[in-house]
Structure 1
């Protein structure tokens, strides 16, 4: 059937995928299933409820929630009557909430639980247009989203003609959602996406991956992020069963429970999964430990084109039987592939997962392109290259500008930034090309490779350009390094702030009889400093002279979105990190406390 608007997916489910478990969530220790019929009924009732409350086409409703079937019910209900969905991250600060809820002109807010309700209700009360706050979870004397659905169910006959008129008037180019980019500096921008934007992207990836209506998908990346949201529609279009993870801490358990066929992720999650695998390997003794780490080293040499010599193939068979088979078993035994996006993936991790019989493929995109621009896949020969983000989707155009910037044109490119024509004009030129801000190149004239962010590249005092992301990604291959930020704009040399993998470092410290009261004392210990100097020296050998890290400082806390150093999509918030660690940066470059950095950040402005 023809699918031009997102809510057409519901009719596709009704006609082709009448399932008992199209959406599934874990409640009080049990997986609760919602059928295709449940989905359609709940979405329609919510749509009728909005009409009963006086909502009109073009009105905005914001949600702040974890992943859950109800998110889909209200998402599709809004779409049916032309109400614009503004999904917001549950992990941002109060100032960002205040800005987004006000800037988006939201008339209603739906939050997940009582904690979010108590936090956001006072903010909502100060915003004139925002009249209603509801919760998804049930609480006594707190407005619940089902009240809207019940109102709709009771008024179906009254609003039937209006519903049909409004629904049939919605076109593919109509505004469907506003997604506020997390932003690494300043307040976020509201990306306006139409039905056509998102569905064209679904079509672009539709045939790339083997997905069937018998598949079970685990969803854990936030649905408010365009990446998870787009694949959420892809899975529904294919009739897959979508299981929503309890939280990020239960991913491995949930994958095993549902025997997942596939999932999409960001590199940070893969890194954490790998760290846990390595930690278990560290606990092994004797021959088992030797075999475990031998298998890892072997896996890092895996070639996706299958061109290995006989001796490598023989050893890989042994490694898969002795070690890698346990990985597959831990994931439920039926995992066929994993797709990673949102940030650069370490090539060695991709090779390792391929060696383990679990294809881990990298893609690339941005909110402004709905989001996928390029992706690796296995369906065709020569459609995958580790270290690249894969071939460009067939329904968009990409070219590399004179300065190396990646430009994109096609049906998935956004309508613009909400209430910001000036910034829109800065990123979409008069010929319709979106300037991504990413620097890249084509390998073998087919595979797109991202080298860095245009705005994050910097120049040393000697005039040499440095691309920090590629260096940071290299150093994160170390078991001991969880996060790293490279600095040095207008300085004589590049340096780095390193946030250690404390879980791994604590084990190492115990094994080396290092006693410490806290992480501050640990990172300052001479043996730890010597360990990290050895790690830095090792990875510096793979870099050019100007790219090498000459000095580094260890920080005593992990970086996260909760503490502010990472965005909700787990990218470095460089300005925040500069601010937080100004004394360490002064120390690296030997500035006096009142002296300015000669680079782009002035410490006396911090």
Structure 2
């Protein structure tokens, strides 16, 4: 019986030396998707029309919800309807026009996720302003670079971020107006007056626009929707120029996938929790997809440590997140099972193995085990989640299986980058094969380019391998005012390089296997992909985070390990060290030697090669975080900064090995 193919070679595509032929999803063999049909009439071609579509589908139901903080305590969710938000967005957009912002003018947004963030963006979509998100985790230097490169005059900001902008005003000559999401305090007003900056509240701008309406100049599909700056792991931020078509074509791809039963289209009966940074394209695409279906969007209260408290109240049906969070849930559940032992562990393992076997038959639910074993785990995400989407970084097959088993939900893995408005690949509903990210989205075609230095070629057997390249309607226009960097990523024929290594599996699905940029050679000539090793070691129950380091002058790898505080405490109790604090345990020689030995065994059991095993480790209690500049805002490790921070420890580890 012939295998079902999820993608096919593009007909009549030419042979190009050093490349495989491009492939498209089997759902769009002839024409790439640009837009999607409206439920009213015609087609949806811009993000403003996408909002109108959602408002129509919602039939006046709830849209944006937040938890007011009263005397330091979060209250229940308060909601605004689609109709109310539409009215406010139109008024706010008109108010911006009265402040001198013209169509295609740059509108800065600087805040964590909250209703005013989304409403400001929607006003940009209606009046054809170009939104430019800012986020302070980039650092002051990067904010200065972005504001000045875009010649930004108007910034919408929360009170704390408004203060940052005013403190930086001496280096931001173009900024004329700061609009505060909330109250303009006397201190902010006084500082703004001294700096000759016009400062207003969001509601004041809204009122001005309501009192003096302005006819909006709506965007076209080719107009720029946003300039989204990527932090990367080193260097100056790059502003990816993304059009309305870049986003809408991906939404259209989801619609056709859903029509064929390969995805879902959210409805007004669904709820999405918004906590991933709106400054990044993944959450913005998520919101655009939710809006298209008239879905409710509830915002977290602003503290990721309290996210699960918000989720318990909100009870989302759709949960989009990054592997980092899913890995933590997986680790906590598995460590808890191990700690309980006895009949509880026996029941969990039996239930888990039964459902895992059923996954291979395409069965997600189990009447008995879902009720008596997995109900408490499902409650961690509110108890009503039907759809889970993982994106931003690769997720391990074990964790994908875990999510399907414990939550009985459809779990999708998306793959994309800022430069494609996050629209590159998505696994299909009902396809429970772990380790793959599905075929190309219906708005792009994908090919693999040979990487001779890494021994990856499009002629490899049994599966073609190479750098992932794509072309199509979600691909960005280039980097803002950066022609050299644009040329390095985007060629004359529209092919965009990703820097990731992929392979086509037997059924034409893409598997992301490596990273072009983050590889290095050891002294004996072996290539190392540290992210792959880190993903394996991070699954060990004692590990919270790990940084793998190697050098072409060294023959071995070393690592910096941040232990999991809870599981380390359990281990300490079993080893007569329970009286010590977490910090003291991290400095304990027995912890270090145990971790090194356990990770070596675990690595071999996980099929790591001998040269991929850590020969020495340094244990630290300090988490890698955005705040200490070791993680990007999308929680990717900043390898250069980690190397600088732990340089002395790395040198000492190599001396000990020698």
TM-score exceeds 0.5: yes
CA distance in 2, matches of 1:412, 1:196: 7
CA distance in 2, matches of 1:50, 1:210: 33
Name the residue aligned to 1:40: 86
Verify: 1:550 aligned to 2:615, yes or no.
Answer: yes
CA contact (8 A) 1:303 1:351 kept: no
Q: Secondary structure at the match of 1:7?
A: helix
Name the residue aligned to 1:134: 179
CA distance in 1, matches of 2:602, 2:353: 16
Moved over 6 A (4+): none
Name the residue aligned to 1:153: 210
Q: How does 1:197-276 map to 2 (within 5 A)?
A: 197-206=246-255, 207=258, 208-246=263-301, 247-276=303-332
The one of 173, 198, 201 equivalent to 1:144 is: 201
Q: How does 1:339-358 map to 2 (within 5 A)?
A: 339-356=389-406, 357-358=408-409
Q: Secondary structure at the match of 2:626?
A: coil
Query: Following TM superposition, by how much is the alpha carbon of 1:198 offset from its aligned partner in structure 2, in angstroms?
Result: 1.0
The one of 592, 600, 603 equivalent to 1:537 is: 600
Name the residue aligned to 2:51: 10
Name the residue aligned to 2:30: none
Name the residue aligned to 2:9: none
Bigger mean CA deviation after superposition, 480-489 or 170-179: 480-489
Name the residue aligned to 1:485: 547
Cα RMSD (Å) of the superposition?
Answer: 2.4
C-alpha distance 70-458 of structure 1, shift in aligned 2 (>3 A): same
Query: Following TM superposition, by how much is the alpha carbon of 1:330 offset from its aligned partner in structure 2, in angstroms?
Result: 3.6
Verify: 1:369 aligned to 2:451, yes or no.
Answer: no
Bigger mean CA deviation after superposition, 319-328 or 217-226: 319-328
Verify: 1:30 aligned to 2:79, yes or no.
Answer: no
Name the residue aligned to 2:436: 388
Query: Following TM superposition, by how much is the alpha carbon of 1:384 offset from its aligned partner in structure 2, in angstroms?
Result: 4.2
CA distance in 2, matches of 1:188, 1:155: 38
CA deviations on 1:143-184 (whole Å, 9 max, x unpaired) are 31122111111211xx33xx3xx22xx211111101110211
Verify: 1:187 aligned to 2:236, yes or no.
Answer: yes
Query: Following TM superposition, by how much is the alpha carbon of 1:538 offset from its aligned partner in structure 2, in angstroms?
Result: 2.1
Bigger mean CA deviation after superposition, 79-88 or 202-211: 202-211
CA contact (8 A) 1:226 1:371 kept: yes
Name the residue aligned to 1:595: none
Q: Secondary structure at the match of 2:545?
A: strand
CA distance in 2, matches of 1:78, 1:514: 58
Q: How does 1:308-319 map to 2 (within 5 A)?
A: 319=369
CA contact (8 A) 1:302 1:352 kept: no
CA distance in 2, matches of 1:63, 1:338: 28
Q: How many residues align?
A: 575
The one of 506, 521, 545 equivalent to 2:569 is: 506
Query: Following TM superposition, by how much is the alpha carbon of 1:233 offset from its aligned partner in structure 2, in angstroms?
Result: 0.6
C-alpha distance 91-302 of structure 1, shift in aligned 2 (>3 A): farther
Q: Secondary structure at the match of 1:551?
A: strand
Verify: 1:459 aligned to 2:504, yes or no.
Answer: no
Bigger mean CA deviation after superposition, 60-69 or 320-329: 320-329
CA distance in 2, matches of 1:573, 1:463: 24
Verify: 1:522 aligned to 2:522, yes or no.
Answer: no
Higher RCO, 1 or 2 (CA under 8 Å, sep at least 6)? 2
CA contact (8 A) 1:66 1:90 kept: no
CA contact (8 A) 2:562 2:623 kept: yes
Q: Which 5+ residue runs of structure 2 have no aligned equivalent?
A: 1-37, 70-74, 189-199, 452-465
CA contact (8 A) 1:516 1:522 kept: no
Name the residue aligned to 2:11: none
CA distance in 2, matches of 1:561, 1:195: 30
CA distance in 1, matches of 2:351, 2:642: 37
CA contact (8 A) 1:385 1:447 kept: no
C-alpha distance 210-202 of structure 1, shift in aligned 2 (>3 A): closer
Q: How does 1:410-425 map to 2 (within 5 A)?
A: 410-425=472-487
Q: How does 1:68-107 map to 2 (within 5 A)?
A: 68-107=114-153
Name the residue aligned to 1:338: 388
CA distance in 1, matches of 2:468, 2:492: 16
CA distance in 2, matches of 1:531, 1:545: 19
TM-score (norm 1): 0.89
Verify: 1:397 aligned to 2:453, yes or no.
Answer: no
CA deviations on 1:177-203 (whole Å, 9 max, x unpaired) are 011102111121111001111111111
